[in-house]
C-alpha cells in the first residue's frame, strides 16, 4: 500500500475518532453528578465508539466485510467490558467509602485520645496534690493530733475520687477502642431504675435534693447489659444532682412508645448553656455552668467523664442520648430499641 494511502487512512481515522473522544471528555467533565459506576461505563464506551468511528472513517464510510467484522468485535468487547467496568467501579466506590470511614474513625479516635490525655493530666493533679500535701504535713508533724483523723478522712475521700477517675478512664478507653460489646440479655428497665435510685438516694438527701422515680405499670424491656444501663442512668442522675441546688428536684421517668423505650432524667438545676449543648457529651466538655458548690466535701464529685461514658454506652446499645434545656433545669433522654416479645 502506497504511503500516501496510509496517511490518508490515518487522517480519516483521526478525523472521525478524535471528535468522539473530545466530546466524551467534555460530557464526563460536565456530568459531575454521575455515579462512579456510570462514569466508568462511559470511560469504556467512549474509546469503543472512537474506535468504531475511526474504522468507519478509514474505510471511506463504506460498510465492507472488514468493517462488519470489526464492528462485531467492538460490540462483543463492549458487551463484556462495560458491565465489568461498572462492577469494578461499584467495588472501588465501596472500598473508597470504607477507607474514608476507617480514616475518619482513626482520626476521631486519635483526637479523642489526645483529649483524654489532656483531661487526665489536668484532673488527676488536683486529688494527687491534695493527698501529697496532707500526707507530707502529717509526716512532718505539722498536723495536731486532734486533726489527724479529719485529714485522714480527706485523704480517703481523695483516694476514692482517684479510684473513680481511674475506673472512668478505663471505661472511656474501652469505648474509644470500640471494645464495648454489651450482652444481648433482655433487661427490665424498671429494675435498672430501682438500682439507680438505691445507689443515689442517700447522696441526694445529703445534697438537699429530692430524687423521685416515675415508672409505668408494665415493665419496659430492652436488649443489652443491665450493668452498663445502670451505669448510664447512674451517671445521668449523679450529673443532675451535682448541678441542682439544695431544695431542687431530680426526676427519673421511664416509658415507651411504638418505636423504642425511653428514660428521662429531669432536674431543676442551672441548665446548660445553649452554646454547650452540641458538645455536652464530648470528653473535653467543660460547661459554662459548673457544679453547685456543696458544703459536704464527701459527696461524690465524679471524674467529669460521666456524660461521655453514658453516651458511649448508649451508642453501644444502638440507642441515642440527647440533652436539652427545660423552663427550669435540663433534661437528658435515653432512647433504646425495645426487646422483641
13 plus 133 within the same structural domain: no
**For residue 95, what pLDDT is reported?**
77
Quick check: is 106 in a domain?
A: no
Q: Which is more confidently placed, 58 or 313?
A: 313
Helix segments in the chain, DSSP class H: 3-30, 36-58, 65-123, 125-139, 145-176, 189-207, 226-242, 306-316
For the cut 90, the answer to whether the pLDDT of residue 65 exceeds it is no
For the cut 90, the answer to whether the pLDDT of residue 335 exceeds it is yes
Confidence of residue 191 (pLDDT cuts 50, 70, 90): very high
Window from 192-196, 271-275, 281-285, 321-325 with minimum mean pLDDT: 281-285
For residues 192 and 123, what is the distance between their CA atoms, to the nearest angstrom?
30
User: What number is the average pLDDT over the span 204-225?
Assistant: 91
Q: What is the mean pLDDT of the chain?
A: 78
85 plus 24 within the same structural domain: yes
Q: Which of 99, 134, 167 is a domain's end point?
A: 99
189 plus 326 within the same structural domain: yes
191 plus 323 within the same structural domain: yes
pLDDT digits (tens, 9 = 90+) for 8-22: 666 766 777 777 777
> Domains in the chain: how many in total?
3
Quick check: is 109 in a domain?
A: no
213 plus 317 within the same structural domain: yes
Q: Which domain, by its residues, includes 170?
A: 124-179
Beta bridge partners of 332: 265, 323
228 plus 296 within the same structural domain: yes
190 plus 147 within the same structural domain: no
Element (H, E) at 251: strand 249-256
Element (H, E) at 125: helix 125-139
220 plus 331 within the same structural domain: yes
198 plus 338 within the same structural domain: yes
Q: What are φ and ψ of residue 335, in 5° steps?
A: -125, 130
Q: Which of 144, 179, 214 is a domain's end point?
A: 179
User: What number is the average pLDDT over the span 176-196?
Assistant: 79
pLDDT digits (tens, 9 = 90+) for 47-60: 777 777 777 776 76
Q: Residue 257 has what DSSP assignment?
A: -
Helix segments in 31-64, DSSP class H: 36-58
- Whose grid coordinates read 487522517? 11
Q: What are φ and ψ of residue 298, in 5° steps?
A: -80, -10
Q: Which of 179, 197, 214 is a domain's end point?
A: 179
pLDDT digits (tens, 9 = 90+) for 99-157: 777 777 777 767 766 766 666 666 667 677 778 888 888 888 888 888 888 888 878 87
**For residue 190, what pLDDT is reported?**
92
User: What number is the average pLDDT over the span 148-168?
Assistant: 77
Element (H, E) at 9: helix 3-30
For residues 271 and 99, what is the distance between their CA atoms, to the nearest angstrom?
40
For residues 210 and 316, what is the distance between their CA atoms, to the nearest angstrom?
31
| Confidence (pTM) | 0.58
16 plus 94 within the same structural domain: yes
Amino acid at each position: 500500500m502506497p504511503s500516501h494511502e496510509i496517511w490518508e487512512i490515518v487522517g480519516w481515522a483521526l478525523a472521525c475518532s478524535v471528535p468522539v473522544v473530545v466530546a466524551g471528555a467534555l460530557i464526563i467533565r460536565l456530568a459531575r453528578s454521575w455515579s462512579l459506576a456510570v462514569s466508568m461505563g462511559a470511560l469504556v464506551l467512549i474509546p469503543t465508539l472512537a474506535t468504531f468511528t475511526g474504522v468507519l472513517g478509514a474505510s471511506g464510510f463504506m460498510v465492507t466485510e472488514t468493517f462488519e467484522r470489526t464492528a462485531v468485535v467492538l460490540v462483543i468487547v463492549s458487551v463484556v467490558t462495560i458491565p465489568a467496568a461498572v462492577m469494578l467501579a461499584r467495588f472501588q466506590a465501596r472500598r473508597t467509602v470504607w477507607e474514608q470511614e476507617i480514616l475518619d474513625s482513626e482520626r476521631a479516635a486519635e483526637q479523642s485520645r489526645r483529649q483524654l490525655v489532656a483531661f487526665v493530666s489536668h484532673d488527676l493533679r488536683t486529688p494527687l496534690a491534695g493527698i501529697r500535701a496532707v500526707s507530707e504535713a502529717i509526716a512532718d508533724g505539722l498536723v495536731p493530733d486532734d486533726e489527724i483523723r479529719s485529714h485522714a478522712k480527706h485523704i480517703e475521700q481523695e483516694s476514692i475520687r482517684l479510684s473513680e477517675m481511674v475506673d472512668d478512664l478505663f471505661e472511656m478507653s474501652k469505648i474509644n477502642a470500640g471494645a464495648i460489646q454489651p450482652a444481648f440479655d433482655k433487661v427490665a428497665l424498671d429494675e435498672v431504675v430501682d438500682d439507680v435510685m438505691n445507689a443515689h438516694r442517700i447522696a441526694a438527701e445529703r445534697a438537699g435534693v429530692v430524687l423521685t422515680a416515675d415508672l409505668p405499670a408494665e415493665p419496659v424491656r430492652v436488649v443489652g447489659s443491665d450493668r452498663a444501663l445502670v451505669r448510664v442512668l447512674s451517671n445521668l442522675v449523679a450529673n443532675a444532682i451535682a448541678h441542682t441546688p439544695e431544695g431542687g428536684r431530680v426526676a427519673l421517668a421511664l416509658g415507651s412508645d411504638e418505636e423504642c423505650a425511653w428514660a428521662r432524667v429531669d432536674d431543676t438545676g442551672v441548665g446548660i448553656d445553649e452554646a454547650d449543648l452540641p458538645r455536652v457529651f464530648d470528653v473535653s466538655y467543660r460547661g459554662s455552668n459548673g457544679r453547685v458548690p456543696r458544703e459536704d466535701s464527701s459527696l461524690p464529685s465524679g471524674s467529669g467523664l460521666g456524660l461521655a461514658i453514658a453516651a458511649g454506652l448508649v451508642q453501644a446499645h444502638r440507642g441515642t442520648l440527647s440533652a436539652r434545656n427545660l423552663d427550669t433545669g435540663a433534661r437528658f433522654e435515653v432512647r433504646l430499641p425495645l426487646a422483641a416479645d
